[in-house]
Structures are given as C-alpha cells and as structure tokens.
Amino acid sequence: MTVAQRLAELLPHATVTTAHGVVTADVPREHWAEAVAAARDDDDLDGAFFDHLVVVDQSPGGFEVVVRLWSVARRCGLHLRTSCPRDEPTVPSLVGVFAGASWHERHGAEMFGVVFDGSPDPRPLLLPPGGTARPLRKEHVLTERVARAWPGAEDPAYSGEGGRPPRRRLQPPGAAP
C-alpha cells in the first residue's frame, strides 16, 4: 500500500493527492489536529516525525497552513494542509500533537496574523513591541522599495544600456504612484 493510499484510508475527511512525488492531504479545518495526530500515530507510517509547519498567504482567498511530516520507515515526507478564510484566520493548534510546532505557530501568528486556537504560548517571537504588524501578508507594503530604487540592474533595460528605453518602474502593491 502506498503512502497516498494509506493516508486516504486513514483520513476519510481529507482529499489526498500526489504531485511531483509529494503526497498531500487537504484536511478540513475542523479535523486538522485529529488528522495530524492520526498520521503521527499510524503504525504503517511508523511514527511520522514533525518536520516543519508553514503559513502561506493565498491572497485574496485566505491562508493555508501546511505541516510536513517525515516517515522514517518509508523514507518519505508527506504534507497535511488546511485552509482558513482571511476574515477568520483561525486554525486549531498542533502543540498538543507535536510540541515542536510551538515555534512555527508563533511565527505564523506574528508574521501572518493566523490565530492558533489552544496554543499555550502566543507571545510574539521575532518582532519588537510596536513593530510592523503582519509583515509577511501580501497586502503589506514594502516601504523601502517605494523610498529608493532597488540596487543592481539584472536586465540591461533597467540601466539604460542596450538601446531601448527602460521599463516603467513598478510600485509594490498598495503603494501610491
């Protein structure tokens, strides 16, 4: 039985796909923690270990939370993924399943504003108090890119060489021209 077949059998609420050799299970948000715990505890996957957890901004659709687990017995990784809307960025915490998820959840909460329900340590992780809120969201304006030109020319058209006029300088999203 393949990893994809085992996950499909183990997680009846999930949609399991394989692309480019990576098995991914899309899990509804309400079954998130129980699905990750089931993958961890499955004997056939031989105690899948926590690798990492990331938040992905799928603007304007919302956020995806992806956890990567590693199966030692099968020598392969697998992804479990859930999503939440932008207006309600809340996902159950995985700290009760994997203690190592705490740092990753704190990072996702601070950088994207995703709330991990049940997280025992919601303190800020990297940013100073009063700093920029949610700097990795796509709607966050990179003010430094507006204030001065990006150094270095990767394309001769930007430097005026090459016999053609330079391209119109693009503004970051949300910046006024």
The token duo for 128 is 């100073």
Contact present, 42 and 8 (Cβ < 8 Å): no
- CATH no. of 3-132: 3.30.460.80
Nearest Cα residue to 40 out of 7, 2, 85, 5: 7
Per-residue pLDDT of the chain (177 residues; tens, 9 = 90+): 888 999 999 999 999 999 998 999 999 999 999 999 999 999 888 767 999 999 999 988 999 999 999 988 788 889 999 999 999 999 999 999 999 999 999 999 999 999 999 999 888 888 888 777 888 998 887 776 666 665 655 555 555 555 555 556 666 666 666
How far is the C-alpha of 91 from the C-alpha of 126, rounded, in Å? 21
Q: Is 108 helix (H, G, I), strand (E, B) or coil?
A: helix
**Cβ atoms within 10 Å, residue 92:** 20
pTM of the full structure: 0.80
Predicted pLDDT of residue 98: 96
| Residue labelled with tokens 């700290």 | 95
Predicted pLDDT of residue 21: 87
Q: Where are the beta strands (DSSP E) in 20-95?
A: 22-26, 49-57, 63-71, 76-84, 90-92
Q: How do the domains of the chain map onto residue ranges? A: 3-132, 141-177
Predicted pLDDT of residue 155: 54
63 forms beta bridges with 57, 84
